[in-house]
Structure 1
């Protein structure tokens, strides 16, 4: 047999060489008797190889080498440099990747999946998590809260009237940390809602479907079922299972449900598998560009202070209730309502305890929502137990004589012109954009409502047999339900956008985040923000 010599490389074994050279392992063992074992590391040794002729190759009929991938991505989500984005003109450019921006991106990709429209989306922050924090198995309530405190930053200009306000600036925005409660607003309790209610019902259904909203999350739990019965029989018939944005479908047919709890990442993922789009992070929008009453793009800056002009036929601002009006005002877009009519909710916490012996061996999770009514225009949640976690944790829970639960109380704050954010020309951030100042106060009626909420909590504790602790008022701004600073409406003197989210007086400029909500009462805003963003995306797609 003719032979040739091969110098073994790092980590080579006879078996590896046999596979690479397409020769018999038995021949290699025979030709190299000094090698004790075919899986021995033989780096640097001279190895005898049988010489295989072209005739021999034809006889073995070895299949051709499989093609190897020639391209790669350097991140788990494809990113586009700002330099590249500045070379294009976008049919739609979205600013912000939270609930509104993520929804807008997904819906446009769905509507335009088979055409040549160009879509871009930019995010001021970087990547801090690849999913909602509750989807990470190492998280519990304490760790998630601690990480939120690290990632979020105090809102500049919020003192002293909005002391608890914080911003979450990262890919996915607040949806990385949000509490997942996805109830519809009771629009009959909200005066002058600008979108016809039947149409809202349609878009609510779309939003619930894409967010996997379910009332089955805690259904069947002994803790939830027992307390729900006590409440409904004790004068609170509006009590119900809490709707949660959670994908509870089991994996079947090999389909993977990777993100149980909804976040903007769920929509970014859906969009990425529909069609291509450009996404840039660490891209600070500093100015909306307008020419003769039409939006033409956005001026953006990178962390190294380089400036880029991103051209677009349509611009959608989804930066946040604070950042969207800040961007409009810094761009000279100062309609009479920009930044005004800011609203949030009175937020109180009432800790309580229930007897462990009242429930089955596995008490389960507590997740009950008491919706607002005309007589009681505030919302109350019952959540728990054990550290106020109503979502799962891998921690072992000890058997306790009493279970800690929590009542979360949300009272409405009416939109008032004087509650607002405005620019502070004397303080600018590192990009030269003026910081905002917040002006906020409770009205006398809202202060009176706080006492009514306290009285209701006491009634709940009585009918549900809950031993209540001390009720406390959470600092203003701490609740992430701030909205209204670019409110939607028909009158340009009291609103910033029309009913489709289009900024009054400027074509091609839209808003799609919590700031467009004209009033939220005591409800949760996220589902409504998603529903309106879908509707705005449909309108943009129809106009194109």
Structure 2
């Protein structure tokens, strides 16, 4: 059905325009800049080094490779690569009495926002609770009660830390130096798990079990932060680099904070906003 957005189905008409050229298997390695202007983009394709010039350059190589390209190019604003982060995720599971689950037709049947925002965020991260329509850790073992459980995924807000950052090694390859999640996120994990009992109160819950922390939520962000002050951020409100005034950075790398929600719609909205403001 081709229902999920991809570049191929979402931008097919744009790609067909005679003024558009798409280079595949082309790895951007450097940006060549003079003063406050990026003059050219260098890339590697088919074993050869090439370059292309442009008046406006848009960088959207994700929160690992975008800062790596800038660092490799010697365009090292003090905050380039600093503060990379993602949501802190964990799984829980509730056993329920007499109600079968897994009747829905989607992967996630609902999202609960009861712990998303409030006064509690002064001391610990907000949380988004996913009701999963899949048995991630198996069904129940009791005869006839196999489906009487509710798997939950919880994504918790983290606080960017400068110790978590992107660097490049001697060969120019990106390296992620990740020290730890913040204490703010850890308090959010503890508080959100304690709050699951209230969320599940309408159900006949027999037991609520913490299953495991997730190694990643795969939503890398925050390594080229947006802000008004060039001394503490890399791009401005239009997502233009504070020093390189023809370089626009798009993607979740510009996020100044780490909300619990998935970043894709915010990435799209910010990119459209940036295009409108620059046009």
TM-score over 0.5 (shorter chain): yes
Aligned partner of 1:493 among 215, 227, 231: 231
Change in Cα spacing, 1:535 to 1:348, as seen in structure 2 (3 Å) is same
Aligned partner of 1:318 among 49, 56, 60: 60
Aligned partner of 1:268 among 3, 11, 36: 11
The residue that corresponds to 1:439 in the other structure is 178
In the TM superposition, what is the alpha-carbon distance from 1:449 to its structure 2 partner? 2.2
| Aligned partners of 1:385 and 1:403 also within 8 Å | no
Change in Cα spacing, 1:443 to 1:385, as seen in structure 2 (3 Å) is closer
- Residues 1:373 and 2:117 aligned together: yes
Aligned partner of 2:89 among 337, 340, 347: 347
The residue that corresponds to 2:50 in the other structure is 308
Query: Could you list the per-position Cα deviations for residues 442-487 of structure 1 after superposition, in whole angstroms to 9, with x for gaps in the alignment?
Result: 2333322221122122433444334434421112xx2122211011
- Gaps of at least 5 residues in structure 1 are 1-257, 389-398
Determine which structure has greater relative contact order: mean sequence separation of CA pairs < 8 Å that are 6+ residues apart, divided by chain length: 2
TM-score by length of 2: 0.84
- Residues 1:460 and 2:199 aligned together: yes
Equivalent positions of 1:354-393 (< 5 A) are 354=96, 357=99, 363-365=103-105, 367-371=109-113, 372-375=116-119, 377-387=126-136
- Residues 1:283 and 2:21 aligned together: no
The residue that corresponds to 1:505 in the other structure is 243
The residue that corresponds to 2:273 in the other structure is 535
Equivalent positions of 1:10-159 (< 5 A) are none
Q: CA RMSD in A?
A: 2.5
More strand by share: 2
Larger radius of gyration: 1
| Aligned partners of 1:353 and 1:402 also within 8 Å | no
- Gaps of at least 5 residues in structure 2 are 121-125, 138-143
1:499 alignment partner, SS class: coil
C-alpha distance in structure 2 between counterparts of 1:463 and 1:375, whole Å? 24
2:67 alignment partner, SS class: helix
The residue that corresponds to 2:42 in the other structure is 299
More helix by share: 1
2:271 alignment partner, SS class: helix
Query: Could you list the per-position Cα deviations for residues 47-75 of structure 1 after superposition, in whole angstroms to 9, with x for gaps in the alignment?
Result: xxxxxxxxxxxxxxxxxxxxxxxxxxxxx
C-alpha distance in structure 2 between counterparts of 1:456 and 1:327, whole Å? 42
Q: Between Structure 1 and Structure 2, how many residues are aligned?
A: 263
In the TM superposition, what is the alpha-carbon distance from 1:271 to its structure 2 partner? 2.1
2:63 alignment partner, SS class: coil
